Amino acid sequence: MKCHICGAKMEHIITDLPFKTDQTSIIILKDLPVSQCSGCREYLLDDFVMEHVEEILEQTDKSAELEILNYPKQFTPALNSSLVPPREKAAEREQVKKGNMVL
């Protein structure tokens, strides 16, 4: 995928991001999976990730000025998941279990 700002390549990374939820509250989400531009550092959140971010933000303490939360690992897609189709991944795992090397 290419950056919509500068055209450089977008890379899948794990990072921490702040979210301002109202005038006096900031929530920092740690270990958030994002696509970040290798050129201008612009970032994008996948729809799936953003849905979970919204759910997390709705459940935060509204009276806290600053809250730091970890993004749940079960909602973090593998960074290379788009490179290998799921069926092929399952076949690779099965080969590894049997002691065969997958090239």
Domain coordinates in residue numbering, the chain: 10-76
- Output the pLDDT for position 69: 95
Name residues whose C-beta falls within 8 Å of residue 1's C-beta, 6 or more positions apart in sequence: 9, 10, 35
Asked whether residue 68 carries a pLDDT value surpassing 80, the answer given is: yes
**pLDDT tens for residues 12-55?**
999 999 999 999 999 999 999 999 999 999 999 999 999 999 99
Instruction: Report the pLDDT averaged over residues 78-103.
Output: 46
Q: Record the pTM.
A: 0.68
Tokens of 29: 């989400």
